[in-house]
Amino acid sequence: MVLLAFELRHFSIPFNLEFMKPKSHSLTLFIKFSPFIRSLKSIFTPTTFLFSIPALAYFVNNNISFLILSIMNPPTFMVLGNLKIITTGLFYNIFLDKKLNRIQWIALLMLFLGSIISQIRFSNGGKPEIITSLFGFLLIVIFSCISAMASVYTEYIMSNIFKNESIHLQNIKLYLFGSLFNGLMYYFSTFSSFSSFNKKSVSNYDGFFSSLFPIHYLIIFSACSMGLITSAIIRYSGSITKIYSTSMAMFLSSFMSWIILDNYKPNILFFVGALLCCFSLQMYNNSKIENYEK
């Protein structure tokens, strides 16, 4: 909402005497913020419910990731989670009017293999630390399909259906449903443990913000900023660019961990995978340039 207000220039204070007069102050504010109010009114239309579909998908996927991490170790989740690279390409090819050519598919497969190779870790016995069950692998497939569907559908409604609408207004609609779904989940998961007759337990509950420290607010702000940036990537560049940016962010975070943290040392496979992903990025980008020139 703040970004939408800045976009409509509602925070530029007019320096004139009429604005300072008590009688005209409220009227001027109303006139100044009326475009902002009109923009927010568009939220209360039936078309807004189109944003509830990707919001629900992201909500389900975020909770599935916690379930996956409860039954398999993080390295296995990171390796198998790269399956969303392939599923995103498939959904992108099927549901959007944008067909990937052979070179682009090869580039995506190279990105997929490079991401997997870079994240393989070995135990003390020299065996890869990839341990999962059939149920865990099934959850990974569901996770990858939902992630791809949400990304492609978000691109469809942002770039096609509401292409003339402000991205900030689109984000308000999308995250309004996201907050609603997560808020309901938090409410029912928190108070379901309290007996309806045990008023003492409810009265002793300190609330949501009681366990948050400054570092938590910093993490929340970082995650929210990442969500807004991801929306911009999907809106202006597409779902494929999103998976490339996610993969490159993974390598950047690993490289920074190598420099900052003493307990993290990447093996040779990390650099081989990173090299493959760089080749994939170059190949995919060159293919896009060739298609544009044709």
Question: Same domain, yes or no, for 107 and 17?
Answer: no
pLDDT at 118: 81
- State the alpha helices, DSSP H only, in 72-213: 74-80, 83-95, 102-119, 134-156, 167-191, 199-203
Question: Same domain, yes or no, for 17 and 62?
Answer: no
Question: Same domain, yes or no, for 104 and 79?
Answer: yes
Question: Same domain, yes or no, for 173 and 125?
Answer: yes
How high is the mean pLDDT of the chain? 80
Q: Find, among 143, 198, 178, 140, the residue nearest to 51 by Cα.
A: 178
Residue 193 lies in a domain: no
pLDDT at 78: 78
Contacts 24+ apart (CB under 8 A), 275-280: 275/114, 276/110, 276/111, 276/113, 276/114, 276/117, 276/118, 277/110, 277/111, 277/114, 277/115, 277/118, 277/247, 277/248, 277/251, 279/110, 279/114, 280/107, 280/108, 280/110, 280/111, 280/114
pLDDT at 18: 47
pLDDT for 129 beyond 50: yes
Give the CA dihedral 160, 87, 234, 244, nearest 10 degrees.
-150
Question: Same domain, yes or no, for 164 and 272?
Answer: yes
Domain of 106, in residue numbers? 47-183+214-293
pLDDT at 194: 53
Question: Same domain, yes or no, for 137 and 241?
Answer: yes
pLDDT for 204 beyond 70: no
Residue 190 lies in a domain: no
Question: Same domain, yes or no, for 66 and 29?
Answer: no
Residue 231 lies in a domain: yes
Question: Same domain, yes or no, for 76 and 165?
Answer: yes
pLDDT at 28: 55
- The predicted-structure confidence for 158-182, as pLDDT tens digits, reads as follows 988 888 889 999 999 999 999 999 9
User: pLDDT band for position 200 (50/70/90)?
Assistant: low
Question: Same domain, yes or no, for 21 and 80?
Answer: no
Question: Same domain, yes or no, for 96 and 226?
Answer: yes
pTM: 0.77
Residue 7 lies in a domain: yes
Residue 198 lies in a domain: no
Rounded Cα distance between 51 and 71, Å, is 31
Question: Same domain, yes or no, for 115 and 27?
Answer: no
Q: What is the mean pLDDT of residues 196-211?
A: 59
Rounded Cα distance between 107 and 111, Å, is 6
Cβ atoms < 10 Å from Cβ of 168:
19
Q: What is the mean pLDDT of residues 214-239?
A: 90
pLDDT at 197: 47
- The predicted-structure confidence for 227-236, as pLDDT tens digits, reads as follows 899 999 999 9
Question: Same domain, yes or no, for 2 and 79?
Answer: no
User: pLDDT band for position 17 (50/70/90)?
Assistant: very low
Q: How many domains does the chain have?
A: 2
